[in-house]
Structure 1
Amino acid sequence: MNSSGHIPGAEGDSSFLGWFLESERGLDGYAKAAASALTDISRRFPEPLYSLERLKERYLSLSAGASVPSERYSALIRSAVELTSMDAPKWEYIAARLELESFYAGVRKTRGEQDFSADGDARSKAGAAFRRLIEKLTEDGLYGSYVLESWSREEIEELGARIDPSRDSLFTWSSLDLLVRRYVVRSREGIPLETPQEMFMGIAMHLAMKEGADRTEAAFRFYDELSSLRLTLATPTLSNARKPFHQLSSCFIDTVPDSLEGIYRSLDSFAQVSKFGGGMGMYFGKVRAVGGPIRGFKGAAGGVLRWVKLANDTAVAVDQLGMRQGSVAVWLDVWHKDLPEFLQMKTNNGDDRMKAHDVFPGVCYPDLFWRLARDSIDSLWHLMCPHEILTAKGWALEDFWGEEWEKRYFECVQDDRISRRSLPVKEIVRLVLRSAVETGTPFVFNRDLVNRMNPNSHKGIIYCSNLCTEIAQNMSAMETVSSETLQEGGSVQVVETTRAGDFVVCNLASLSLGNIDIDEPVQLERTVAAAVRMLDNVIDLTMYPLPYAQITNSAWRAIGLGTSGYHHLLAKRGIPWESEAHLEFADALFERINRAAVRASAELAAERGSYSHFAGSDWATGEYFRKRGYAGPRWDEVRSLVREKGLRNGWIMAVAPTSSTSIIAGTTAGVDPVMKKFFLEEKKGRTVPRAAPELSLSTMWFYKNAHQIDQSWSLRAAGKRQRHIDQSQSVNLYVTTDKSFRDLLALYIQAWEEGVKTLYYVRSQSLEVEECESCSS
């Protein structure tokens, strides 16, 4: 800036810049921030829509009542935010640029540093500053001590010097606002202490700690993927990596046993998971129904709903790290005797003593149910108590699937020792759909589809999914084996031995498809390989809330690589959602992602060894590839690699909803269409613009709003993707108020026919539903 107030490089808008700096001399340090930001804005956004004269007009209006420099600078930022519109969406990037100057000034002041630039000689200074930051945050108990214990001074300074602040320009105002509010490390007084790029590098260093001799390059590779916003990690990983309490996994699933001791152990497990920020899925299909016998006394059991209400109260009482209420999905089979009451526990009518408004119910369906709903809806459906079946038959009906399950189901129906509660299929359907329209739930789990395609069916069964319906892994209940009283000296100890079972853990990351150049020959494969490696490292580097979780996670080494930015990518490529081109593109893209992910896991197995149960799996026998019809030279090469080297991870792909992390990446959530191309969202007393990513005249026509899309196209696309996803995907249905129950049932049946394993929310236009934060990968 020269003495006249003119800023070189800002011709055309220099009059406003000069006026602003002259009229706002009282802004003190904010004047320098404004000069830097406005100069950059003039260079990056030369279009008339982004003229600084428009900013001046809005600023004069908003700053009228501001009396202190910080308020006036905030008015400048808010001016850019409010100029964001469908016609001029890039104002959100301008607002972010202005916000960054203010944010960096605040962090510099707090840390007593002068600059964060990393060019020329300043790179070494940046490296030293990064090392000092980690030392200070460790001393204050905000970073885990393991970071300094694992990395040398020289390594930290080298990585600090390679941090690229220019990547902050990728943030929109919404993404920067969310990142700063919820993810960067703050002091106990709530003051931000690290920058977004330092955050990404800190996370990368955590996940690369055990990478071996080339771990510095591995850390930079991880940083490169994260900071370029090509890859996002789940909220617990972004939030907790590098911190003392580093619980990095997203969701957990437990099989609730049919015993008082077992039920309370499961509730305690949920409390421990929620305490450290995880969400929970709980399968109640083994718990005896209302009126079931207890120790031979008939009519004594209180049923599933009493225990579900305790899970509800636990979710309220034990929040997730003080940030939000605990979250739990509760699952029940469609043949369980307590199903009608279960389906009404979130609705607004009926006995309030039978309600559980804070849980998320899900129902598990066999193929038989959907066949009857499609072909013979007036047929009777028989609800039974699992305890009665186990007592009479000596086996549990829920432990089977497919044709074997159907055979045993009809055996139970014909057994007079087992009481039945028989209702027409259409009555069950009516209860399901009424709850779906009113509450958005129950979620759908198509158990036969899931188990038929389970690559690890040789070692168990999958009863249900997690809180966001994308996880499908083997499950089994914990069991107390023995209890022994020991006496040592003057003290008496009671030692209980518990069989761990399969306590499912999901570790999530998402490819930001809209930010990846999929036409570049190796970029997608390179990002997939980095993601698989990072997720495999999460398994060894997380802090487990329960020992059962560590046992299962270490044995199966399951990961969940998913995607966000799906609609973003379609719009960029000019592919209409409702088109055959969409289906062909989805099929080819997800096959490519899957092939890259399986290859990456096999290469990791060559380096680190296979997961414990690889032998006998569909991966080992080649059934995984045969079931999906994978053929051709590229698949033959991958199949041979898996046969020769093994596989590191028992399950590899799962597509989470990514509601929060997609905002950070400036892209669309999960595999969903956008709700609207542009809208204004009210958040805590302020208006926040939400524009579809890269919205322009060329992309606008390909961003069709979710509720305007024919949902049958969404289900057809989900079926194409599902073939390539060994677990599942969070798929929402968007229904308008004019849809009948018959229309909605047709979508449920189509999902099953297309091979879609799970359905998440039914999002009616008249209903708002709460997103799961833990799985926001």
Structure 2
Amino acid sequence: MHTETETSSKQPTVNPKTDSQTTVSATAPGKIRVIKRNGTVVPFDASKIEVAVTKAFLAVEGGTAAASSRIRETVKNLTQMVAAVFTRRMASGGTIHIEEIQDQVELALMRTGEHKVARDYVLYREEHARARAAKKSAEPVVADPKYPTINVTLADGSKAPLDMLRLRTIVSEACAGLKDVSDQAILDEAMRNLYDGVSLEDVNTSLVITARTLVEKEPNYTYATARLLCDKLRAEALTFLGVATSATQHDMEHLYAAALPAYIKKGVELELLDPVLLEFDLDTLGKALIAERDLQFTYLGLQTLYDRYFIHSNNVRFELPQVFFMRVAMGLAVEEDNRNERAIEFYRLLSSFDYMSSTPTLFNAGTLRPQLSSCYLTTVPDDLHGIYGAIQDNAMLSKFAGGLGNDWTPVRSLGAYIKGTNGKSQGVVPFLKVANDTAVAVNQGGKRKGAVCAYLETWHMDIEEFLDLRKNTGDDRRRTHDMNTANWVPDLFMKRVFEDKPWTLFSPNDVPDLHDLFGKAFEERYEHYEKLAAEGKMRLFKTVKAADLWRKMLGMLFETGHPWITFKDACNLRSPQQHAGVVHSSNLCTEITLNTKAGEEIAVCNLGSVNLKQHIVDGKLDQAKLRATVRTAVRMLDNVIDINYYSVDTAKQSNARHRPVGLGLMGFQDALYEQRIPYGSDAAVEFADTSMEAISYYAIEASSELAVERGRYSTFEGSLWDQGILPIDSIALLMKNRGEKFIEQDQSQRLDWASLRAKVQKDGMRNSNVMAIAPTATIANITGVSQSIEPTYQNLYVKSNLSGEFTVVNPYLVHDLKDRGLWDSVMVNDLKYYEGSVQQIDRIPDDLKQLYSNAFEVEPRWIVDAASRRQKWIDQAQSLNLYIAGASGKKLDLTYRMAWFRGLKTTYYLRALAATSTEKSTVTTGTLNKVSSGAPAAPVQAAGPAEVPKACSLDDPDCEACQ
């Protein structure tokens, strides 16, 4: 009646963004393989499924002409549905067992209402299973009664029996100490997927894939998966280094000591590492490595390191996790007097996950070209030679993996007079197109796309065309599809928006001093130029309604994601370095606010982030631990300035003069979970305040102590620091210039700022700037915490980046639900159905719904208020994404006005959801999620299993400069 459903040399393909009824192509060459019950492996063949299901239908319904037509169409749809499950699950190929295919056929029959055929199919499977069992019981027992004997293919092509004892040891080690994780479950499923002659590497792959599929049911499997991946890493690296051919985690307690010296010598020999690393006491440093810290990694974190960070030769990664952290630590300690002790100190901090350096530092510390800095800011002058010189600087900085922020405001506008040619300018946009294409051409050393953000002040005549740069319509020669853009907004413009007044646009060559003015001085001069224009004394200008321009800015932000909105006066009036120059833009991720000047100052910043979660001890912030972390972190950041490779001399000179660094934080949401505080609450806003106050206090203190040890930065005299004005004090300067009715920012404080203020005036500062909160998307992945200051995106989703796709489930939620007896397969399905949201799942108690609200369920005012509290302590800015559900013009208007009114310096991406959501058809329930308007859901025919929702790309893996 039936035939066994096997598989295909023609892999079906589906669009992963559509439901399971997407048409499946059976013509593409397949990468999916099927293990038959006899252990042989065959290509996946969807036609075998079609034949088997057709026979099942014919056995039940007969072969009449009327039945035949219906059967043909039904079987076709069922086959596509089953094939789509595997092509989505294994888009890049993989191996499945024959039983998995039959399971999916059974499920598809049930879901489409073919209950009679399904019953017959189930009975058929049971009958044949009994027959196979009876046959097997008559066969002689193999050596290992649990699993059949399997031979594996070794690297040299020879075969040997699979070492089951070692395999059990590896899996047992991977699960040790993890609650609700079963080593037997991993081993049983992995062994089902192995076949005679499988490569040794594929044995490990089977273990890893098996463990990672269990993550959505129990988050602790992510640690087990990472530990299983470690077995592959150890074999690859230790064999290459000649230390061992393989090792268990237990073996690494003594092998790490031998691995570090072998690694440094091999890296220097291959001209991948700086020979200066050989001058360290490698034996002492090797013994300082802590093998058990390999157990801290999540699967996403370790896979990210393996794919993108570990040093390799001919695609062989020979850098192990603890060796990696020590290499970075050594690279940051090379100029220390007691370099071995400092390297161990830096290593312990990094490997503990209490603090993490930014990606450029992790990539390049200890290498022959240590480009460790994250961000570069430049000003483009208004002459042809200078414009192309600035674009050349972009190319050189981008070549060595720097993220760029360009101030384009000085470049004259479209129609402006050009004296040298007696002609008219084409404006700033054509040059932006060149800068855009340069970023594409010089793609960060061949590793990632170039990343640049262009800034333009709101009074520039070309501002309206600037807003359109990211549109997909219009003249493509005046579009920049690869470049980020940002508005540099003066306070006067925002006042005109609030008061519904007109706004005048000028060409910068007619009003050259506006570029360098801010606060009241800007307002007075701007109004002077408006008067001249009104009197007919200026040829080129345009008057618009400020509110209309504001609406277009918000409209483009919603439509294209750009330009971002940043605030010129808050950045300048609160800058410690306003005596030494002007902040003309922020950087690629809007957290850096440093002075630039065409031809003289290219600002540079070095980043690193405190892991706030690691500093919550017994439900509260551990101030002593935080202080120790910050002191070491600031020292590491200061070291970067002297060690760093600068591809442009102007950047080197500027960085040496001012020595700015940017200490930030990540894991804010995790820290709230640890304290049982919902993100959308007064308590969360208060914690944002107190935690940032502590970081600010200890960072300023640490930089002042470094000034005693190493000397003040050269432009300290005359700075706000020198005047005894700390970041918290500088709010008064903003209020005075803006006017108190246009700002509302909390100024409360708890720590002893008076004594610190006196210390700074007496001892000075080592760094002109010390704090900036970067996005941290990638280093947060490495350390396994929520990125930066972000709320949870979703409680269950698939995260996509350059390392692949990873199921991310909120472990705090899962463990809370387990404690209350609510975690089961139905709950998993509900979370998938509601796209990671808990709000409409009736079984979940209200207190958990509040605690586990996702980013779009937290009102924007909470995000802005928490950011405002942090901003009062920060001498630079913060990368602040805004999440708005049910987005409308009114909501955007209120949110961004509030951001300015609360004293924020910058905003970053807008993440908006429309007012209604699309209906779903890939769930096992019979009704749809309600659209956000609250309209009743309509029942639909369920079409397949619920899929884990995919996240939008919160972290852009093409640029990791600030991450």
Normalised to the residue count of structure 2, the TM-score between the two structures is: 0.72
Equivalent-residue separation in structure 1 for 2:229 and 2:558 (angstroms)? 41
Candidates 320, 325, 346, aligned match of 1:222: 346
Q: Is the 8 A contact 1:231 1:527 kept in 2?
A: yes
Q: Does 1:97 align with 2:227?
A: yes
Pair 1:380 & 2:497 matched = no
TM-aligned CA deviation for residue 638 of structure 1: 1.5
Shift of 1:644: 1.8
Q: CA deviation at 1:134?
A: 0.8
In structure 2, what is the equivalent of residue 764 of structure 1?
912
Does 2:773 align with 1:655?
A: yes
Quote the offset at 1:18 in angstroms. Answer: 7.0
The corresponding residue for 1:197 is 322
Matches within 5 A, 1:304-383: 304-376=428-500, 379-383=501-505
| Unaligned stretches of 5+ residues in structure 2 | 1-142, 154-160, 732-746, 818-847, 915-951
2:894 aligned residue (727, 746, 750): 746
Determine if contact 2:724/2:758 at 8 Å carries over to the other structure.
Answer: no
- The TM-score, its normalising length taken from structure 1, stands at 0.88
Choose 70-79 or 285-294, whichever is displaced more: 70-79
Structure number with larger C-alpha Rg: 2
Query: Counterpart of 2:502 in structure 1: which amino acid?
Result: L
- Give the SS at the match of 1:321: helix
- CA–CA distance in structure 2, aligned partners of residues 297 and 70 of structure 1: 68
Q: Which residue of 2 aligns with 1:68?
A: 199
User: Structure 1 residues 753, 41: CA separation in 2 closer, same or farther (over 3 Å shift)?
Assistant: same
Map of 1:400 onto structure 2? 517
1:719 maps to 2:863: no
3-state DSSP class of the match of 1:759? coil
Q: Note closer, same or farther for the CA distance 1:108–1:136 as it changes in structure 2 (3 Å cut).
A: same
Do the aligned residues in 2 keep the contact of 1:93 with 1:169 (CA within 8 Å)? yes
2:883 is the counterpart of 1:734: yes
1:505 to 589, 592, 604: 604
Q: Distance in 2 between matches of 1:754 and 1:414?
A: 31
| Residue 170 to residue 119, structure 1, CA distance change in 2 (3 Å) | closer
From 627, 635, 654, the counterpart of 2:730? 627
Q: CA deviation at 1:705?
A: 1.2
Equivalent position SS for 2:808: strand
What letter is aligned with 2:490? Answer: P
Compute the displacement of 1:573 (Å): 0.9
Percent of pairs with identical residues: 33
1:397 deviation in Å?
A: 0.8
Contact 2:778 2:955 in 1 (8 A): no
- The structural deviation recorded for 1:682 is 5.0
Q: The residue matched to 2:565 in structure 1 has which SS?
A: strand
- Give how far 1:458 is off: 1.2
- Answer yes or no: is 1:34 the counterpart of 2:167: yes
Could you say which structure has the greater relative contact order, defined with CA pairs below 8 angstroms and 6 or more residues apart?
1
The residue aligned with 1:210 is 335
- Cα RMSD (Å) of the superposition? 2.5
C-alpha distance in 2 between matches for 1:413 and 1:30: 83
* Structure 1 counterpart of 2:583: 462
How many angstroms apart in 2 are the aligned matches of 1:529 and 1:423?
51
The whole-number CA distance in structure 2 between the counterparts of 1:76 and 1:20 is: 17
Aligned length: 721
C-alpha distance in 2 between matches for 1:235 and 1:301: 40
Report the CA distance between 1:584 and its aligned residue.
1.1
- For 2:960, the equivalent position in structure 1 comes to 774
C-alpha spacing 1:689/1:400, structure 2 compared with 1 (3 Å) = same
Where does residue 701 of structure 2 map in the other structure? 599
> Compared with structure 1, are the counterparts of its residues 25 and 640 closer, same or farther at alpha carbon in structure 2 (3 Å cutoff)?
farther
1:451 aligns with 2:561: no
Q: Deviations for 1:623-676, whole angstroms, at most 9, x for unmatched residues?
A: 225335687772222122212211000000000001111000100111111211
Task: For 2:623 and 2:528, locate their aligned partners in 1 and report how far apart those are by CA, in whole Å.
Answer: 56
User: 1:523: which partner in 2?
Assistant: 625
With 360-369 and 690-699 compared, the bigger mean Cα shift is at 690-699
Match of 1:494 in 2: none
Q: Hey, what's the Cα distance between the residues in 2 that align with 1:107 and 1:606?
A: 43
In structure 2, the residue matched to 1:490 is none
Bigger mean CA offset, 273-282 vs 18-27: 18-27
Q: What's the CA shift string for 1:259-293, capped at 9, x where partnerless?
A: 11110110000000111011111100000001111
Code of the aligned partner of 1:503: I
Match for residue 471 of structure 1? 592
Q: Write out per-residue CA displacement over residues 8-50 of structure 1, whole angstroms, 9 at most, x where no aligned residue.
A: xxxxxxxxx9767764564867756533322224531253xx2
- Of 227, 246, 260, 1:130 maps to 260
For the pair 1:542 / 2:647, whether they are aligned, the reply is no
Q: Structure 1 pair 157/601, CA: closer, same or farther in 2 (3 Å)?
A: same
Query: Structure 1 stretches of 5 or more lacking a match?
Result: 1-16, 391-395, 479-500
- The CA distance in 1 between the partners of 2:145 and 2:716, in whole Å, is 69
Q: Hey, which bits of structure 1, 4+ residues long, moved more than 6 A?
A: 17-22, 115-122, 630-633
Distance 2:405 2:652 in 1: 17
C-alpha separation between the residues in 2 aligned to 1:577 and 1:64? Answer: 49
Q: Of the candidates 611, 616, 639, which is equivalent to residue 718 of structure 2? A: 616
CA distance 1:46–1:474, change in 2 (3 Å): closer
- Match of 1:357, SS state, is coil
CA distance in 1: counterparts of 2:672 and 2:219, whole angstroms = 19
CA distance in 2, matches of 1:421, 1:531: 50
Deviations 1:722-764 (A, max 9, x none): 001110000011123x321121011110000111100001122
Q: Is the 8 A contact 2:576 2:721 kept in 1?
A: yes
2:211 and 2:769 mapped to 1: Cα distance? Answer: 45
> Is the 2:414–2:425 Cα contact (8 Å) retained in structure 1?
yes
Paired residue type of 2:624: V
CA contact (8 A) 2:304 2:803 kept: no
User: 1:563–1:385: structure 2 CA closer, same or farther, 3 Å change rule?
Assistant: same
Deviation at 1:132, TM superposition (A): 2.7
